[in-house]
Homo-oligomer: A and B are copies of this chain.
């Protein structure tokens, strides 16, 4: 990158009085609007000397520059004026055809009339919130959840209830308990947000049985489910599972897809597939938000997929990311303490690691950055401060050697922290050791501690 990835504009020496001056003008939502921990970190992690395992970046250096040039040359010859012009809010017909084709590759059949092309998958989350949420409305999400969804939920003043996961994804028994508790409080969630395959940040995948059960619950309760599926086609082992959209048939599942992880995040192109009445409202919301997605990047997608190169490229990405995942799992086994646990993803981009509770990964990151290594602290994936002993580490965007070295450096600062803790308390904390704060962070409804996924060594 030639540019710094900084998390936000710098106020350039403006005074506190300045902030105060405008404060009275802000909408009430701005009081709860948060930055994604991920975005703020980027300013620090993008220094060239830092090995960043913090991002959720595809490795775009694998895309041949000559293919890029050839695609654009063809678009220039065939469609220059149209690629530079406004397009329809719902997206170009050719791109909707591509989307139906990509979804069919994962076994999901959709009608292009049910598709809305969006400015990245992120915009789907924003438009679903815009369409469904009044301030205070309940959204059910996984614990942990996608850190980038949190700014969207906050901007619409959602009350996010997080349901714990294990190696088989969201715990549907806990979901049912949660829905019953909400029933007793007279509250109905507006939607359930889930990333069923290779979850971000946890890396786990929802089992077939749970998928079926979740869709049954949605139908029985007439509850909408937002299925966020950026990684479904990035499976490195195991049998593909049907999407929730397939099991649902288009009644209560809003599907979120994206070209970010199978082609390019820089295009900012994703899509929603939703029941007609919901899609119509999302379309209205998109008109106000950005009129239409980029025609230029849509023509890029249409031309790329027309050339039939996407499946070999996807196969190449899967091979690369599978190897990097294995390198990361090996490095974790070598460099992380015995008390640590981590997930073993069958696909996607992320491993979720949980350290002894003595460690606070937000503090740890500061130390890690002095060693030029970065990750996403677990708290970024919770709305309520949980996740303090966990971290998300990415293996897709970093070469093998950097993964090894990055994990080694993190292991080093973890070991130092544990030593320090031992020297202060006189005991080196074991896996079960908890800090008082952690105790306080237990779920109010008495659910199990979801600071971490179940403590078995998933790589064992």
A90–B265 Cα gap in the complex (Å)?
16
Q: In the complex, what residues of B have CB within 8 A of residue A281's CB?
A: 26, 30, 33
Q: Quick check: which of A16-24, A159-167, A381-389 contacts chain B, the rest being far away? A: A16-24
The reply to whether A72 and B63 form a contact with Cβ atoms under 8 Å apart is no
Given contact pairs A6-B90, A33-B284, A76-B72, A12 touches B111 in the complex (Cβ within 8 A): yes
Question: A1 on the interface (CB 8 Å rule)?
Answer: yes
The reply to whether B69 and A276 form a contact with Cβ atoms under 8 Å apart is no
A25–B264 Cα gap in the complex (Å)?
34
A267–B27 Cα gap in the complex (Å)?
30
The reply to whether A27 and B89 form a contact with Cβ atoms under 8 Å apart is no
Nearest-neighbor residue (CB-CB) of A59 within chain B: B81
The reply to whether A294 and B280 form a contact with Cβ atoms under 8 Å apart is no
The reply to whether A87 and B123 form a contact with Cβ atoms under 8 Å apart is no
Q: In the complex, what residues of B have CB within 8 A of residue A72's CB?
A: 68-69, 72-73, 75-76
Q: In the complex, what residues of B have CB within 8 A of residue A276's CB?
A: 9, 11-12, 14, 18
Q: Which of B1, B25, B36, B83 contacts A85 (CB 8 A)?
A: B1
Q: In the complex, what residues of B have CB within 8 A of residue A119's CB?
A: 119, 268, 290, 294
The reply to whether A278 and B22 form a contact with Cβ atoms under 8 Å apart is yes
The reply to whether B1 and A265 form a contact with Cβ atoms under 8 Å apart is no
The reply to whether A73 and B69 form a contact with Cβ atoms under 8 Å apart is yes
The reply to whether A267 and B84 form a contact with Cβ atoms under 8 Å apart is yes
Q: In the complex, what residues of B have CB within 8 A of residue A284's CB?
A: 8, 30, 33-35, 151, 155
The reply to whether B4 and A88 form a contact with Cβ atoms under 8 Å apart is yes
Q: In the complex, what residues of B have CB within 8 A of residue A290's CB?
A: 119-120, 122-123, 126, 268, 290
Q: In the complex, what residues of B have CB within 8 A of residue A2's CB?
A: 79, 82, 92-94
Q: Mark A90-134, 1 if CB is under 8 A from B, else 0.
A: 101110000000000000000101111001101101100011111
Given contact pairs A3-B93, A27-B134, A294 touches B291 in the complex (Cβ within 8 A): no
Question: A5 on the interface (CB 8 Å rule)?
Answer: yes
The reply to whether B152 and A84 form a contact with Cβ atoms under 8 Å apart is no
The reply to whether A84 and B111 form a contact with Cβ atoms under 8 Å apart is no
Given contact pairs A284-B34, A297-B294, A266 touches B85 in the complex (Cβ within 8 A): yes
The reply to whether B296 and A267 form a contact with Cβ atoms under 8 Å apart is yes
- How many copies the complex holds: the figure is 2
Chain B proximity of A87: nearest CB distance (Å): 7
* A406-451 interface (Cβ within 8 A of B): none
Q: Which of A5, A73, A85, A116 has the most CB of B within 10 A?
A: A85
Chain B proximity of A159: nearest CB distance (Å): 14
Q: In the complex, what residues of B have CB within 8 A of residue A190's CB?
A: 25
**Number of contacting residues on A, CB 8 A?**
117
The reply to whether B113 and A9 form a contact with Cβ atoms under 8 Å apart is yes
Chain B proximity of A36: nearest CB distance (Å): 6
Question: A341 on the interface (CB 8 Å rule)?
Answer: no
* A242-273 interface (Cβ within 8 A of B): 260, 263-268
Question: A80 on the interface (CB 8 Å rule)?
Answer: yes
Q: Which of B27, B34, B65, B291 contacts A77 (CB 8 A)?
A: B65
Nearest-neighbor residue (CB-CB) of A74 within chain B: B69
Question: A28 on the interface (CB 8 Å rule)?
Answer: yes
A187–B168 Cα gap in the complex (Å)?
53
Question: A285 on the interface (CB 8 Å rule)?
Answer: yes
A278–B155 Cα gap in the complex (Å)?
15
A123–B285 Cα gap in the complex (Å)?
11
Chain B proximity of A275: nearest CB distance (Å): 6
Given contact pairs A9-B114, A87-B3, A296 touches B300 in the complex (Cβ within 8 A): yes
Q: In the complex, what residues of B have CB within 8 A of residue A297's CB?
A: 294, 296-297
The reply to whether B76 and A122 form a contact with Cβ atoms under 8 Å apart is no
Q: List, sorted by A's number, 18 A–B pairs whose CB atoms are closer than 8 Å.
A: A2-B92, A4-B88, A8-B280, A11-B277, A18-B275, A25-B278, A27-B131, A27-B133, A36-B287, A42-B88, A60-B80, A65-B76, A68-B76, A83-B266, A85-B264, A123-B289, A125-B288, A294-B294
When A and B form their complex, which 8 residue pairs have the shortest distance between CB atoms, in order from nearest? A266-B295, A72-B72, A151-B288, A11-B276, A69-B76, A84-B264, A65-B80, A60-B84
